[in-house]
A and B are shown apart, each in its own frame.
Chain A
Amino acid sequence: MIKLEGISKSLGNTIVLRDINLEIKDNTVFGLVGVNGAGKSTLLRLMAGIYDKDNGSILYDGKEVYENEEVKKDIFLISDDVYYPLNATINSLRAFYASIYPLDEKMFAKYLNIFNLDPTKEIRNFSKGMKRQAFILLALAIKPKYLLLDEAFDGLDPLMRLTFKQAISDLLLDENITVIISSHNLRELEDICDSYGIIFDHTIHASGDIQDSKMKICKVQMAIANFDKELLKPLHMIKCSQNGQVYNMIFKNDKEEVLKHLSAFEPIFIEALNVSFEELFIYEMYERGYIHEW
């Protein structure tokens, strides 16, 4: 299990992260979301033991990660902007990582074939997506216990995104792997993540199981002739928009509770709609005043 307690980090005079508290269970996929510049990459670097934190602790099964070789050998980070030496090829990178991590050659061959990459071609001549594929390929062959992916789906085409998600699922089944993914692509994250954390205003403002959190948000479409919004006060309404007699409402309440309360007004029509992870994120941002309208 990964446990972050009271993590703070400043870069120069700028506070990037403040009092981050988080728990990530083993053998799960954790999605880290936040607006641009929220500190997702910094948090991943802290979790990979690259940066030293100003305060707090980052524990992997109770062991501090920073300057700890024993813990770091189980972690592999794919940065937002991957690094490779000037003339590096996939083969030379494989040799580099094989000199440090145990590398599964069968897995390497399997995904090299799936990704259809030339292992002898210089990586600098690859497209952005191919570069990312090359590093994903290496990560899959290394099979680290903790795989950290910064902007995981950036540059990948839909087919590759699907392949990658399938590969992650396979690893979750076969190996005891924990994946932490930061991405703007919330639709992709929703497919693969078990839990999430939203970074806003330098700290984690919401976290938890995706399904549980979605259950706590209720989106309702209701048609009613006459209706006084004041009567909704007992509920925690996030937003309400009206189009003629049709109301679209979002509540931070249990679905049953909302439907029970609204049915009392005898609407012409009432329906609870599914909430996506993207909507969940938007509601959280809206509630915190980061966005004013959508």
Chain B
Amino acid sequence: MNGSFIKYTLGQNKKLMILLFTIGFVVFPLPLLLFRDYGQFISVNGYAYYLLVFLWIVSFILPYYNYHFVHSQKASDTYFGLPFTKARLFDHIFLLTVWEFILPFLVNILIAVGINGIIYQFYGIKMIFEVLGSAVVLGVSLLLFNLFILFKTNNIIDFIINTIAYHCLPFLAQMAFETFIYKGGKTLSYFRFKDILSLDYFYFNVSYMDHKLMILFGFVILDIIGYWYVKKIFTKRAVEDANQNTTSKAMYPFIILSYTLCLLILAVDEITFSTIFSIALIMLAYYILSFIAMRKIKFDNRSFILFITMIIVIFGLHNIKINTKMFGLEDRTFKDPEYVNFDLNYNYYDNDKNEYYFIDKAEGEYDDIYEAQYIQMINEIHDKLLDIDIDSNVRQYDNIIRIGLNYNFKFCNLKYDYDIDQDNFQKLKSIIELLYKNGYCLYVERYDNDYQRIMLSLDEAFDLLDIK
């Protein structure tokens, strides 16, 4: 390592570090002084949201600030002309970047701890380790991800567009996926793309996750692999690409393909006038994005064929999904989820009698969502729902029983929704019996004269729901 080069560059970046420190100060120690809500600061949970803002800004600014020369022909001549191998140049600046990332953050953490100590007599040593440790590990991941985009693009405009596009993509993909599986089906099943693909979203949730240390350790491994990969891209990158159009397949082509696919999934299910109109709009957007990517309008056959192929694939998948009942998922239960949620919703207000009916757990009884017995009950209800033929066309929206079954796995949820209207209540007889056996019951609240809340017996419930 060339200490004088690092020392010099750090000195040159003093103003930037002061700016980052100021942003960091406004984001977390300042609210501590202004709002005096130290509860937000004694736990890492409170920090997660503030951290996200800070980390995102810093992880975007720092890579560009320190590695901007890869996008400038003039600056490339200077930096790549220095007596460093590309790998050593990368290491020097990476070390500098990580240091510039940590230092303003560390100072702000210490200020926050100081404020806590002086005003609230709370000394959060654990907090320092938790917040700083996770921020460094996760922040470096975010830095590396933005560096990946920086080295794959050739100019600042492409860097900004692709960075924003990449960070928004998991959310759009999630939305498209949920829309795809929901359209035309009675169940909603979804995978948590956001958790897997989006580092931004991960920051929101890391502090709430179980096995936090293991997840952070996983991220340390990911950082090491990411560092190796990003360094490899940097060393293999052609210096002469600076300030040219971005040609990497991982940038515009991937982004355009992904966004177009997601938008088509959101818009396309069956052929109607509005669908055709939506497709036309998406096609326009597709060509606008292609124009931005290539800086020229090009109507070539290949991109048109690709667009049409995407539409055909989506129509095809949509039909397969309908005909296979969500690839078989609609017709099955799961014995080994981490935990299950059961959402039984019946809220009916009888205007004539001025009575309100609802189903709830009997007083004093609670469900343990992790308990095998509870999971078994859910599966039994689900089996019964699968056995009976429930017409999915709900006709009477004011008097329906809504049953939601939610199987939670590590990175995936499978959610089943059933809406049963009054005409189909008869088919729920065995399910209501099972619910009563497990401590649920039907309540009536009467508002005439004195307020009364009455728990109905199973027979009374059958009478009320007109089940014979």
Contact = CB atoms under 8 A, between A and B. Distances in A.
Interface of A: 11-12, 45, 48-52, 67-70, 72-73, 75-77, 79, 81-83, 85, 92, 95-96, 98-101
Given A96-B8, A96-B12, 16 more contacts: A12-B244, A48-B81, A51-B240, A69-B84, A69-B88, A70-B83, A72-B83, A73-B83, A75-B81, A79-B74, A81-B74, A85-B12, A99-B2, A100-B2, A100-B5, A100-B82
**For the complex, would chain A's binding face be called helix, strand, loop or mixed by DSSP majority?**
loop
A50 B85 contact: no
A85 B5 CA distance: 15
Nearest to A135: B78
B208 interface: no
B446 interface: no
Interface of B: 2, 4-5, 7-8, 11-12, 69, 72-78, 80-86, 88, 238-240, 244
Contacts, number: 67
Nearest to B236: A52
A191 B238 CA distance: 37
B4 A99 contact: yes
* 10 pairs of A and B residues whose beta carbons are closest in the complex: A73-B83, A83-B74, A99-B4, A72-B83, A99-B8, A79-B77, A50-B80, A99-B5, A83-B78, A83-B75
Given A51-B239, A99-B2, A99-B4, A72 B81 contact: yes
B12 to A, nearest CB: 7
A100 B89 CA distance: 12
A77 B77 contact: yes
B134 to A, nearest CB: 34
A92 B88 CA distance: 23
Contact of A50 (B2, B11, B77): B77
- Taking each of A50, A76, A82, which has the highest tally of chain B beta carbons within 10 Å of its own beta carbon? A50
Contacts of B2: 99-100
A100 B83 contact: yes
B8 A95 contact: yes
Nearest to B88: A69
- Taking each of B7, B72, B80, which has the highest tally of chain A beta carbons within 10 Å of its own beta carbon? B80
A83 B69 CA distance: 10
A83 to B, nearest CB: 4
13 contacts: A11-B240, A12-B244, A45-B240, A67-B86, A69-B88, A72-B81, A79-B74, A81-B73, A82-B74, A83-B78, A99-B2, A99-B4, A101-B83
Nearest to B11: A95
